[in-house]
Amino acid sequence: MNPVKWLVRILFLLFLSLLSIAADTITLDHFIRDNGTEIVVSSGKVFALGFFSPGRSRNRYVGIWYFQVPEQTVVWVANRDNPIKDNSGNLRIDGRGNLALFHGNQTVPVWSSNTSITGTSNTIAQILDSGNLVLLQNDTRRSVLWQSFDYPTNTLLPFMKLGLSFRTGLNRVITSWKSPDDPGVGNCSYRINPSGFPQLYLYKGSAPLWRTGSWTGRRWSGVPEMTSNYIFNISFVNTVDEVSITYGVRNSSFITRMVTNETGIQQRFTWNREAQHWIGFCAYAETDGGIGCLTWHGDLVDTRTYTDAGQDLYIRVDANDLARDTKKDPFHNKGVLAITIVSAVVLFLILLALLHCLVTRLRRAERRKKRNAFSFTSSSLFEDSLGEKEIDESRRNGDLPFFDLSTIAAATNNFSTDNKLGQGGFGTVYKGVLFNGKEIAVKRLSKHSGQGVQEFKNEIVLIAKLQHRNLDSRLRIIHRDLKASNVLLDAEMNPKISDFGMARIFGGDQIEGDTKRVVGTYGYMSPEYAMHGHFSTKSDVYSFGVLLLEIITGKKNSTYFPDNPSSNLVGHVWDLWEEDKAIETVDSALAKTQKGDEISTSEGTGSVNDVTITMVQAR
């Protein structure tokens, strides 16, 4: 054995030798005082009775503990709810023959066995090797008048009966301590519930935490580990007089106890002599089955399935009821199968629909990503597109400069309204200054644009072609949307045509074309283009003529004329020109010199009007 353990045992035996160890009884002449040395020990030196203080408490209690276990383990407390605050307590037989605990010289006991004793009051109290403290009639019969096993605290010892006596009303219940420092009656209890089929219940307050199940004739139904090889001799009584259970150990040297602690846990502890400490364990073996018969009313609830233990449950029902239920739904199994199949199909379709939605969203996101990257490789609308290869070549050769969005944002002060030059059908045009000081115009496509990404692409493709080194002298451009708002003036008042989103490029000798998609601004479109979709180089000549008329007359193309409400600017000028009154259309501001003198308009302005009317003349 470990030398340290031997030393502990020797010191413990030396401590015991200092105690005033009396016999196993308390009599009228022999009692114990709380002086730290006086105890009563059972004849086999298994249990001791005396005064103690639990945990860190200084309160004094009378209790029973294991005599030969170095770690003081209290299994029963007398005055658990009435502690003595000092060391003046004494335990003796009182004048009526009861075992009583007194505080100092007081005559009223703190605790008493409080049993009715008839005849002589000559009694003795004895502590047994079972841990049971009994009050006996001191005669030849030695009748038991009272015993501590009828009033357990938090510990169930072997051979202690647990249950209810219907004859006397005595209910033996295990109740937890309040805390490790206070052995008072706690909130958890372990007891037999006699209603229906009696079962052991673990309660916290009035709420059940766990139960053993009903008695099968050999064991509790919820404790399959209880077998014929079980370490206990179990006696279960269920009669008209009482319902109780007693656990007796097969080996008397086996030190074990069951404790209900204050946390609501039921544990069994066994003393390990070699290790010299308590071990909490379940000493059970596998069951070999058994036979029992139970009946119940209502629903069958709280059944358990065990992997390595348990018993088969056979249910006996009326044959007629069984046959009737079978005939009632002969296709029951098929119905269940059909429901399962339909449910699986529906679930599969739902998953398929969700997958389709996900794929669709991913494809849309990919298309948006490609549009934002200005992919021009496969546009059916722009048959004259350069293609990705040529644009990449332009990037490499430096003919068409490319800028990152961050560069453009920095140049326009993050598209500030102070840099705004104007706004068209596509969006807003901003003035910008690059890091090298070069001024640029930046067109930002509006998400609310009535036109869209394709026109914006078209303008970029056209600019790319105009900048291409191999196509400088072989292209013709039809703007198709020439108007005042698309003519920009630089600092020196030089005009710059902008907004080529609707422009078309002709190569070689091509001078005209047709389209099913008429785009542009009504009022500036030539009649053949607006009505038939036919456009040519003359289409921009017509639009330029309208622009000149707006300059000469000082009026917009959409101006209202009271004399001819159905006519626009072109029709109004045309009518005056046929009446040889075209001079009347000239803006009065053009009839004055810088000094305010009138000038002759018969030749200069008249010639301009003639040319302009010819440009817009319907063909």
Which tokens is 458 given? 């078209």
Helix (H, G, I), strand (E, B) or coil at 463: helix
pLDDT value of position 129: 95
Say yes or no to pLDDT of 377 above 50: no
Per DSSP, helices labelled H in 272-387 are 319-328, 332-372
Question: What is the residue type of 489?
Answer: L
Chain CA centroid to CA 559, Å? 67
Say yes or no to pLDDT of 227 above 90: no
DSSP state of 574: H
| Residue 98 and residue 115 in contact, taking contact as beta carbons nearer than 8 Å | yes
Looking at domain 380-473, does it have CATH number 3.30.200.20?
yes
Q: CA-CA distance, 585 to 601, in Å (whole number)?
A: 12
Choose the catalytic residue: 24, 34, 182, 481.
481
Kindly give, in sequence order, each residue whose CB lies less than 8 Å from that of residue 255, ignoring residues fewer than 6 positions away.
66, 69, 270, 271
Residue 473's pLDDT band (cuts 50, 70, 90): low
Least confident residue range of 200-209, 215-224, 430-439: 215-224
Least confident residue range of 41-50, 56-65, 102-111, 457-466: 457-466
Mean pLDDT of 293-311: 61
Mean pLDDT of 214-229: 75
Highest mean pLDDT among 110-119, 186-195, 362-371, 522-531: 186-195
Q: pTM for this structure?
A: 0.48
Nearest by Cα to 158 from 249, 225, 77, 73: 249
Query: Order of strands across the sheet with 420-423?
Result: 420-423, 427-433, 439-445
Mean pLDDT of 426-452: 81
User: How many helices and strands (H and E) does the chain possess?
Assistant: 10, 34
Task: Say which CATH topology domain 476-619 has.
Answer: Transferase(Phosphotransferase); domain 1 (1.10.510)
Helix (H, G, I), strand (E, B) or coil at 528: helix
Nearest by Cα to 404 from 429, 378, 435, 448: 435
Question: What is the residue type of 597?
Answer: D
443 is in an annotated binding site: yes
Helix (H, G, I), strand (E, B) or coil at 573: helix
DSSP state of 548: H
Consecutive H or E run containing 589: none
Residue 88's pLDDT band (cuts 50, 70, 90): very high
Q: Where are the domains of the chain?
A: 1-150, 152-313, 317-373, 380-473, 476-619
Chain segment 103-129, per-residue pLDDT in tens: 988 889 999 999 988 766 789 999 999
* Cα-based distances in Å from 273 to 7, 13, 284, 390: 14, 15, 20, 95
Question: Other C-beta atoms within 10 Å of 251: how many?
Answer: 8
Which tokens is 8 given? 């502990």
pLDDT value of position 285: 31
pLDDT value of position 433: 93
Say yes or no to pLDDT of 536 above 70: yes
pLDDT value of position 516: 67
Helix (H, G, I), strand (E, B) or coil at 76: strand
DSSP state of 239: S
| 81 flagged as catalytic | no
Residue 573's pLDDT band (cuts 50, 70, 90): confident
Domain 1-150: CATH superfamily is Bulb-type lectin domain (2.90.10.10)
Provide DSSP, 199-237: EEEEEETTEEEEE---B-SSSBTT-TT--TT-SEEEEEE
Which tokens is 385 given? 């597109």
Report CA dihedral (479, 485, 490, 493) to the nearest 10 degrees. 100
Say yes or no to pLDDT of 589 above 80: no
Residue 185's pLDDT band (cuts 50, 70, 90): very high
Same fold, 1-150 and 380-473: no
The tokens 């909130």 sit on which residue?
A: 187
